[in-house]
Amino acid sequence: MIIVIFIAVFFIFLYFSYSFFNGNPLSKYLFKKIVQEYLELKYNEDFTVTVRYSFKLSTRKQAYYYAIVKGNASKLPEFKAYRDAANNKVSDNLYWELWNEQITIGIKNILDKHYDNENFMIENYIPNAPSSEKIAISDIPTYEEYAISVPQNKRTDIIISIHSNSEIVDSATIYSIIKDIVDNRIYFNQLRFDFMKNNFEVESSIGLKWDEAVNMDNLSVQGRNK
C-alpha cells in the first residue's frame, strides 16, 4: 500500500513539475481547439497548429500559451496565434508576418545588387496591422495596398544595417538603393541606413522620410564617433 501511495505521489510530482515548466497538457489541448476554431472562422482555411507554453510570460494566475501556425493549402509564412492581453480574446499576427516578408524580400532583392548577403540586415517596424473579423486569405491586402491607404506615419519604419570595411560611405550606391525602393513602391515612414564597422558599432548613418526620398537630391551622412 505504501509503495502504491509512493508511486502515485511520484507521478503527481512529475506531472506538476512538467506542467510548471512546459504547460498543462490539458490546457494546451483546449487552447489548440480554441485556436483552430478561431482560424477556421476567420480565414475559412485549414492550418497546422502547434501550441507552445511560455514559462517567462506566465504568471501565478494564468499560464501563457501561444500557437505556431502553418498554412496547409496556401503559401503563407509561419505566424502566431495568442490571447490578447487587453481583452483575453484570441488574435494572430498573420498580417504582420505577410507584410514583413513582402517588405524584406523586396528590399533584399535591391540590396543583393550591391552587397553580399552576409553584409546587411533588414529590420521592419510595422505598426499594428488591422485585423478583420473574417477574411479570405486571398483578400488580405498586400503591404503596398495597405500603405497607399494610410497616412505616412502608419507605414513601416525600416532599418538597413550594412557592414562595411570602407571608411567612406558610397553615396552613389545608397542613392541607387533608395531610388529602387521608391521605384518599387516599398512605402515607408522612415528609412535609416546604419553603417557598421568590425566592432559592430554604428559609425555613420543616413535617415530620411518617404517624401524626402521621393524628392531626394542630396544625402546627408551623419558620422558618430565612438
One pLDDT digit (tens) per residue for the chain, 226 residues: 776 565 555 445 454 444 444 557 788 889 999 999 999 999 988 899 999 876 554 444 556 788 999 988 778 899 999 887 667 789 999 999 999 999 999 999 999 999 888 889 999 999 877 666 789 888 999 999 999 999 999 999 999 999 876 555 678 899 999 999 999 999 999 999 998 877 678 888 889 999 999 987 655 544 443 3
Residue 187's alpha-carbon distances to 69, 95, 99, 165, 170, in angstroms, are 28, 16, 11, 30, 23
Beta bridge partners of 83: 90
CB-based contact 155:114 (threshold 8 Å): no
Centroid of chain to Cα 3: 52
Backbone angles phi, psi at 56, to 5 degrees: -65, -40
pTM of the complete model beyond 0.85: no
Q: What pLDDT, on the 0 to 100 scale, is given for residue 221?
A: 47
Query: Using CA atoms, how far apart are residues 147 and 137, in angstroms rounded to an integer?
Result: 18
Q: What pLDDT, on the 0 to 100 scale, is given for residue 166?
A: 57
Q: What pLDDT, on the 0 to 100 scale, is given for residue 133?
A: 76
Q: What pLDDT, on the 0 to 100 scale, is given for residue 7?
A: 58
Q: What pLDDT, on the 0 to 100 scale, is given for residue 225?
A: 36
Sign of the four-CA dihedral 139, 145, 147, 150: negative
H runs (alpha helix) in the chain:
2-22, 25-43, 94-111, 143-149, 171-183, 210-214
Q: What pLDDT, on the 0 to 100 scale, is given for residue 68?
A: 94
CB-based contact 182:166 (threshold 8 Å): no
Query: Using CA atoms, how far apart are residues 66 and 92, in angstroms rounded to an integer?
Result: 10
Query: Using CA atoms, how far apart are residues 119 and 108, in angstroms rounded to an integer?
Result: 11
